[in-house]
Amino acid sequence: MTKKKEKGQLIVLSGPSGVGKSTVIAELLGQRKGIYFSVSYTTRQPRVGEADGINYNFVSRTEFERMIADQELLEYAEYVNNYYGTSLKMIQEKLNAGIDVLLDIEVQGAAKVRARCPEAVFIFIIPPSFEELSRRLHNRNTDNENVIAGRLEKAKIEFREIPTYDYLVINDKVSNAVEEIEAILVANECRVDNRRNILKGEFSL
Ligand code: ADP
Ligand code: 5GP
């Protein structure tokens, strides 16, 4: 009876830099099949261990500005002196094929997605404390003190946007955060609106 979804679910995950989004997403993708992670375009330099096409598509500012001009991006934003954006074509293809798509994007980009795709699910992820966020950014050892200070300042501004999200997840332990996101996705799939394809058959009114 279970039919393949006609359209994939767009899932937006935001949270301050260093909260653990990439870590939580890697764990989630390992556990839950059928989610496509949208690899963003960015003008920032790759960190040690990051690979082009896997973590991000690393492009020049000129190339990014060409993509903006040619309307190739669903959304984009400037974050701590670099551009970040989501390819429109890639996510449309996946959603139309019934595949869920996960975006890891900051709050300005999320607001643009909310305006264009109100049916998306919006999840904000926070650390157990601000002190712990600072500790994680320092422990990650990928950014200099100036960049870390910029990211912590940005975090305070981002927290103001939490009320515009549907769900709040606390990344105290990675496994707890993943479990909460899984619960959100399962509950969302059970919404009547998202099961209309089942209702077309023997359950139609
Ligand atoms: P983001 O993608 O949000 O910028 P990362 O996934 O890079 O964050 O995580 C930042 C740092 O915090 C990394 O060193 C990561 O190993 C660590 N980290 C992530 N989640 C947790 C957690 N629940 N507890 C402790 N450290 C964590
Ligand atoms: P980082 O440099 O730590 O990888 O990412 C910085 C911020 O950019 C994070 O908050 C991340 O969610 C956000 N980000 C990553 N990709 C995109 C994107 O495609 N669009 C937008 N708007 N933000 C993004």
> What does the pLDDT read at residue 122?
98
Cβ(134) to ligand 1 under 6 A?
A: no
- Express each pLDDT in 42-75 by its tens digit: 999 998 889 999 999 999 999 999 999 999 999 9
- Express each pLDDT in 1-22 by its tens digit: 445 678 899 999 999 999 999 9
- Residue 175 host element (H or E): helix 174-189
Q: Which atom of ligand 1 is nearest to the CA of 104?
A: 2
Q: Which atom of ligand 1 is nearest to the CA of 25?
A: 6
CA distances from 27 to 14, 21, 24, 172 (A): 16, 10, 5, 14
Residue 200 CA to ligand 2 centre (angstroms): 39
Cβ(109) to ligand 2 under 6 A?
A: yes
The residue behind tokens 């400037």 is 78
Q: Is 80 left (phi over 0), alpha (psi -120 to 50) or beta?
A: left
> What does the pLDDT read at residue 108?
96
Cβ(44) to ligand 2 under 6 A?
A: yes
Cβ(37) to ligand 2 under 6 A?
A: no
